[in-house]
Amino acid sequence: MSKRPRDDGADCLGDRSDGSDGPPTWNRPSDSGSGRSGSAGASGSLLASVTVATVLRDPRVVIARRDVASLSREKTIVLALFIQLFVAAFSSFLVVGLTSLYDPGSVSAGEIVVGVSGDHADALVEAARDQEGIRAVDYESNQQARADYADGQVHAALLTTDSEGRITVEVLAPEENIRTTVIVTEVRDLLEAVERDERIARADDLDRQTVPAPAEVDASPYFGFTYTVLVPLLLFLPPFISGSIAVDAFTEELERGTLELLRVAPVTLVDIVDGKAMGMVAIAPIQAALWIALLGVNGIQVANPVPLLVLVTAFATVVVVLGLLLGLLAGRRRQAQLLYSVVVLLVFGTLVFLPEHPATTVAKLAVDSPTTVTYLHVAGYAAAAAGTYALARAVTRRTDPEGL
């Protein structure tokens, strides 16, 4: 009988060491050979592919993928996402226009000229010298100031009189003018400066010592608007939209009768709720991460992205689970959406009693000035999300699918 040629490194079968005929012996592969490493690599790749395939075949993942894929057919949701995308992508341009609504005094509208007259005109003129964007013209009489205002020589007129030791100011300003808001804002700042100066000057006449006013900070209004309004808006919208989508996703299954088709498959009601929650919760931090990246492209740097995404995920979990529970209990889309809106507003409104409002937490993290309380709030929101999710699963287990 002829012997099979030996292939080193590829075959474990070898000849007898003594050269005699007989059954061949098994030779142990060397650790340095390629047989073991190749086998281990193949086994690792196979195990990874099997694991991914198993996860993708999980009923909850299948339901989540189906719900997320169906979002492209919802015109309202697509429009909401497009608006957020537009705001985040062009934030550096929009922030200038939006800041004019948030702080009209931030808009440069040229020099505002105001006419002042009366017993305390000097105080107004002195305060106007220290304020940019406004110039005060002193008039000898109130009538002359009124006349120049009526002729358009000045943008506004401030007529002062002394009333028992108090300064009374009558302001004449245009009622319907494109510059009215800016004029009124500048005049308001001027009067506040005069009031501050008078309080300091008369402090010695008071029976009690006054609390010193904090020093004025010359900060850009764009900075305040960006991190206290724009960033929280972009980060909180995705969770609330996800909750609204979750309500529709579950109640539509009930109204269309497709929930019965899902139950034909080997899935439980808990699996269905888990799958819908998984998909809706996942899209919120993905959106938030995209908005943060787009803000960075526009020169608006957002610090601490990981804690921010944890906070967004926690809020998304809470509102999505609440939406699914309300859909499960109400059974009808309209009633469930109404309940969802009311409950979310109430829950979010009660958060003002916390040491830090969620918007404040977002702002502190975004500007990289968090405190221990800030991180405790993030941890608390995560714990609340876990508790809400556990409660939802408990309620779902006790719900009879036949009664839906």
Condensed to tens digits (0 to 9), the pLDDT of residues 138-170 reads 998 888 988 988 888 888 898 988 877 788 888
Same domain, 127 and 192: yes
Q: Round the CA-based radius of gyration of the chain to a whole number and report it.
A: 35
Same domain, 356 and 259: yes
**pLDDT reported for residue 5:** 42
Same domain, 224 and 92: yes
**pLDDT reported for residue 188:** 86
Residue 387: band (very low, low, confident or very high) from pLDDT cuts 50, 70, 90: very high
Highest mean pLDDT (candidates 156-165, 185-194, 359-368) = 359-368
Q: Are 341 and 323 in contact (CB under 8 A)?
A: no
Same domain, 119 and 93: no
Same domain, 175 and 302: no
55 within a domain of the structure (yes/no): no
Q: Please tell me the total count of domains within the chain.
A: 2
Q: Please tell me the number of Cα atoms within 13 Å of 102 on its side-chain side.
A: 17
Same domain, 196 and 244: no
Last residue of a domain, one of 156, 182, 205: 205
Instruction: Provide φ and ψ at 116, rounded to 5°.
Output: -125, 145
Residue 103: band (very low, low, confident or very high) from pLDDT cuts 50, 70, 90: low
User: Does residue 247 surpass a pLDDT of 80?
Assistant: yes
Last residue of a domain, one of 172, 205, 238: 205
Q: Give the Cα separation of 187 and 170 in Å (integer).
A: 11
Same domain, 238 and 117: no
Tokens of 59: 């009923």
60 within a domain of the structure (yes/no): no
Give the domain extent around 183. 108-205
Same domain, 242 and 321: yes
Q: Are 114 and 155 in contact (CB under 8 A)?
A: yes
Residue 264: band (very low, low, confident or very high) from pLDDT cuts 50, 70, 90: low
Taken in order 279, 285, 289, 292, the sign of the CA dihedral is positive
Q: Which residue has the tokens 């139950």?
A: 263
Highest mean pLDDT (candidates 90-94, 195-199, 285-289) = 285-289
User: Does residue 3 surpass a pLDDT of 50?
Assistant: no
355 within a domain of the structure (yes/no): yes
Q: Which residue has the tokens 């292939």?
A: 7
Q: Are 172 and 153 in contact (CB under 8 A)?
A: no
Q: Give the Cα separation of 288 and 314 in Å (integer).
A: 13
286 within a domain of the structure (yes/no): yes
Residue 312: band (very low, low, confident or very high) from pLDDT cuts 50, 70, 90: very high
Report pLDDT digits (tens) over 20-71. Answer: 444 444 344 444 444 444 444 555 554 455 565 666 667 677 777 777 777 7
Same domain, 390 and 360: yes
Average pLDDT for residues 261-268, to the nearest whole number? 69
Task: Select from 280, 338, 342, 340 the least CA-distant residue to 312.
Answer: 280
Highest mean pLDDT (candidates 90-94, 206-210, 314-318, 392-396) = 314-318
Q: Give the Cα separation of 139 and 58 in Å (integer).
A: 82
Q: Are 244 and 36 in contact (CB under 8 A)?
A: no
Average pLDDT for residues 250-256, to the nearest whole number? 79
Last residue of a domain, one of 171, 205, 239: 205
Same domain, 191 and 323: no
